[in-house]
Structure 1
């Protein structure tokens, strides 16, 4: 009985908080350890309304959006599209170029199978990226206007995996949260997806879909981004709007990490960009 009570005490808070959303729509560090809003160049819809930028990372629970069991009865997006209303100078629309790797941070909200500090049974079921065919929000998650552009994989979970697998980063899918054990509720995870080379330049609606468990309805986040044919065109746009033109770097490629500790930078020039 004591073991059952202990299990419930550990598991129930995690289940209650197992939700998430995309915080930034163009982040400069892939597989990073800690959130830094200075590395964010684009924001999801209504980021100002829900205090996504200036609030503490992971605490904007009213921004989460979980569809119901009948998606046609609930809007696909947390807010209806209104570019003039939902974006401003503090939370601008992202800009991408064809072939760009785009990094998307999200809060863990307890949902990671991490052998060092959490149950192994936190499921990760589906992590997909869509672009919308057209300028209006689709009716629902099953709409034919949602075009899948990437499957971002799923994270390992369960008792069949050794500790080394569950505690080794980066990971595919939602549970790519390297500093999870330091703050299971609000630690940062990151995804990445690639902008298709055949996408038409212009402004598009993007939709993230996460199913944490097949028994739970999908979570979504929606945003707009201006897509340019080349990096040079995108860079011109970002310079004109006062934003960095750097390509995203990978945390694990620029640091020498031993047993979860940063020993020294691998690429001093990139490290200088980050810290300078």
Structure 2
């Protein structure tokens, strides 16, 4: 997952913005966009709604659970944590079509985010599904001729204006097949900062300039 500034304004291609962060333990630079369904270890995975933890399928290879401290999931061999944002900022995320965006009946992407900062991940995926802040059309894509696998798609959402300063989980989640409850998911952390002059920056903040309402990110998710 790569967070970019300017994503969505001129399409969802990799050159549409500047990267400002990645998902938890994302192997940045090790796999091209859209190939994480075949990359070893596989980073994106099928989940059942009520059984699995929100950010894991219970296997080491697909573990996006929260670190303690959260910064341990970023840097070094992993991508950096997303730049801090303020409540009300807009963020954007991209994903590869993986041959599904052209289907006649494609379902929406769910963006889930708890309402209280600095908390462990919810105990179950069912709990987190009660915390949806946005739904995005999965088939919002930048057309690439003769390519429906790695075609970049994406969408934007707003950080709710009522979010207090602190560190939050945000989850991307998509239902491929309603008949067999086949979901795919990815998790990341973001720091919501206080308005200027109203208090200290929370513990998860990184020393970068705030992007304000232009904050966005692209996600290198892979569904198969």
Q: Any idea what SS the aligned residue of 2:164 has?
A: coil
Q: Specify every segment of 5 or more residues in structure 1 that has no aligned partner in the other structure, as ranges.
A: 1-22, 114-119, 153-172, 251-276
**Structure showing greater relative contact order (alpha-carbon pairs closer than 8 Å, 6 or more residues apart):** 2
Q: Distance in 1 between matches of 2:18 and 2:197?
A: 20
| 1:81 counterpart = 2:66 | yes
Conserved? CA contact 2:112–2:129, under 8 Å: no
Distance 1:181 1:108, change over 3 A: same
Q: Any idea what SS the aligned residue of 1:71 has?
A: coil
User: In the alignment, which residue of structure 2 is the partner of 1:126?
Assistant: 108
1:183 to 144, 147, 164: 147
User: In the alignment, which residue of structure 2 is the partner of 1:241?
Assistant: 207
User: TM-score, length-normalised on structure 1?
Assistant: 0.60
User: C-alpha displacement at 1:55, in angstroms?
Assistant: 2.5
Conserved? CA contact 1:30–1:248, under 8 Å: no
**Structure with the higher fraction of residues in helix conformation:** 1
Conserved? CA contact 1:208–1:220, under 8 Å: yes
User: C-alpha displacement at 1:26, in angstroms?
Assistant: 4.9
Q: Distance in 2 between matches of 1:244 and 1:54?
A: 28
Q: Distance in 1 between matches of 2:2 and 2:31?
A: 13
Aligned residues: 193
Distance 1:145 1:105, change over 3 A: closer
1:137 to 121, 136, 142: 121
Q: Distance in 2 between matches of 1:91 and 1:249?
A: 17
Q: Specify every segment of 5 or more residues in structure 2 that has no aligned partner in the other structure, as ranges.
A: 57-62, 217-224
User: In the alignment, which residue of structure 2 is the partner of 1:194?
Assistant: 158
Q: Distance in 1 between matches of 2:14 and 2:172?
A: 19
Q: Which runs of 4+ in 1 moved over 4 A?
A: none
Write out aligned runs for 1:1-276 (5 A): 23-30=1-8, 32-36=11-15, 39-47=18-26, 51-61=27-37, 62-68=42-48, 71-72=50-51, 74-78=52-56, 79=63, 80-82=65-67, 83-88=70-75, 91-94=79-82, 95-113=84-102, 120-121=103-104, 123-132=105-114, 133=116, 135-143=119-127, 146-152=130-136, 173-215=137-179, 216-230=181-195, 241-242=207-208, 245=211, 247-248=213-214
Distance 1:28 1:182, change over 3 A: farther
| RMSD of aligned residue pairs (Cα, Å) | 3.2
Q: Any idea what SS the aligned residue of 1:30 has?
A: coil
User: C-alpha displacement at 1:195, in angstroms?
Assistant: 0.6
